[in-house]
């Protein structure tokens, strides 16, 4: 699932390509992606709108458009945005852009395409079809219950604020707490594992059991890991691809995620995997206490 670094990478790389451009048409093979309003009304209202601002709220991509309109996009499990050119043939979009957009199989699941007035296209590729779009007036979108409950960004809080946020869920295990989007937004399965390995904290440890030094280590690890992941353009071990269709490079830094049975890069103990509420957690049983 695209997390904070992948969403941040996407935004930084689509901005030079589409900011200030007008949406002249929309084509879609999966209308259910547009949750609000109905697809036909969405197309009618978004045509002619200029893309004025693009920013991130947690894992959401926020497109501020002319006329006081906003498009909210969540990439969910397997979604990613691409910038290039496509041709619609029956129920499929065929890529006309050379390079990884055409050659990497994970980029072939294009479900929705925005045609822009600079002859480029912004496409959503999504294997599982879980991505979602909401469109409406700025005030309506920003005041919605779902948008309002998104927690603060990890980079927007200081250590004491971060600690107090985690302490709101004292009885919860630290991995669950880090992934709670209403507490602190943007961290998912991949980076929670990497953060806890860096901080030497066991994923099952309850927040109430953490010492002040533990909180500090988690805080510092959060910033370090996320900044590193952003600088390396995200993690592409699964479905995420950059708008160019290329992979991110964080895989070179991955210490525990999906490394079950491999040696810990710090102490050589075998990495283990456990399940926490149906989600896998990878950790070193020796380093992480």
Give the DSSP per-residue string, 32-93: GGEEES-HHHHHHHHTT-BEEEEEEETTEEEEEEGGGEEEEEE-TTTEEEEEE-EEEETTEE
* C-alpha to C-alpha distance for 171 and 169, rounded to whole angstroms: 6
Options 1.20.200.10, 1.10.1070.11, 2.60.15.10, 1.10.8.50; CATH of 154-283: 1.10.8.50
Using DSSP's 3-state secondary structure scheme, residue 123 falls into strand
What are the tens digits of pLDDT across the range 26-67?
Answer: 999 999 999 999 999 999 999 999 999 999 999 999 999 999
Residue 3 annotated in active site: yes
Catalytic residue among 2, 95, 100, 154: 2
Dump pLDDT digits (tens) for 158-198. Answer: 999 999 999 999 999 999 999 999 999 999 999 999 999 99
Does 4-148 carry CATH code 2.30.30.40? no
Q: Do domains 4-148 and 154-283 have the same CATH topology?
A: no
Q: Which of 228, 272, 279, 285 is catalytic?
A: 279
- Per-domain residue ranges of the chain: 4-148, 154-283
Catalytic residue among 49, 59, 69, 254: 59
279 as an active site residue: the answer is: yes
pLDDT per position in the chain (289 positions), as tens? 799 999 999 999 999 999 999 999 999 999 999 999 999 999 999 999 999 999 999 999 999 999 999 999 999 999 999 999 999 998 899 999 999 999 999 999 999 999 999 999 999 999 999 999 999 999 999 999 999 999 999 999 999 999 999 999 999 999 999 999 999 999 999 999 999 999 999 999 999 999 999 999 999 999 999 999 999 999 999 999 999 999 999 999 999 999 999 999 999 999 999 999 889 999 999 999 9
């Amino acid at each position: 699932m695209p997390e904070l670094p992948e969403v941040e990478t996407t935004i930084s790389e689509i901005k030079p390509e589409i900011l200030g451009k007008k949406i002249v048409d929309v084509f879609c093979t999966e209308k259910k992606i547009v949750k609000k309003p109905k697809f036909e009304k969405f197309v009618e209202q978004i045509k002619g709108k200029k893309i004025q601002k693009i920013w991130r709220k947690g894992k959401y991509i926020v497109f501020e458009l002319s006329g006081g309109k906003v498009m909210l996009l969540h990439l969910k499990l397997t979604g990613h945005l691409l910038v290039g050119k496509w041709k619609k043939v029956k129920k499929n979009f065929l890529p006309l852009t050379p390079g990884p957009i055409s050659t990497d199989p994970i980029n072939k699941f294009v479900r929705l395409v925005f045609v822009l007035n600079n002859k480029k296209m912004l496409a959503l590729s999504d294997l599982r079809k879980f991505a979602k779009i909401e469109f409406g007036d700025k005030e309506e979108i920003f005041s919605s219950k779902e948008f309002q409950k998104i927690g603060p960004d990890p980079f927007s809080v200081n250590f004491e604020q971060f600690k107090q946020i985690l302490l709101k869920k004292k009885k919860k295990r630290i991995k669950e707490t880090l992934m709670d989007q209403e507490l602190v937004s943007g961290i998912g399965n991949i980076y929670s594992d990497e953060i806890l390995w860096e901080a030497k904290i066991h994923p099952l440890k309850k927040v109430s059991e953490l010492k002040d030094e533990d909180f500090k280590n988690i805080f510092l690890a959060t910033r370090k890991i996320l900044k590193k992941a952003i600088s390396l353009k995200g993690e592409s071990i699964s479905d995420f691809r950059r708008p160019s269709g290329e992979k991110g490079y964080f895989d070179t830094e991955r210490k525990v995620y999906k490394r079950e049975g491999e040696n810990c890069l710090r102490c050589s103990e075998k990495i283990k995997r456990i399940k926490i509420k149906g989600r896998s957690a990878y950790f070193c049983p020796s380093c992480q206490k």
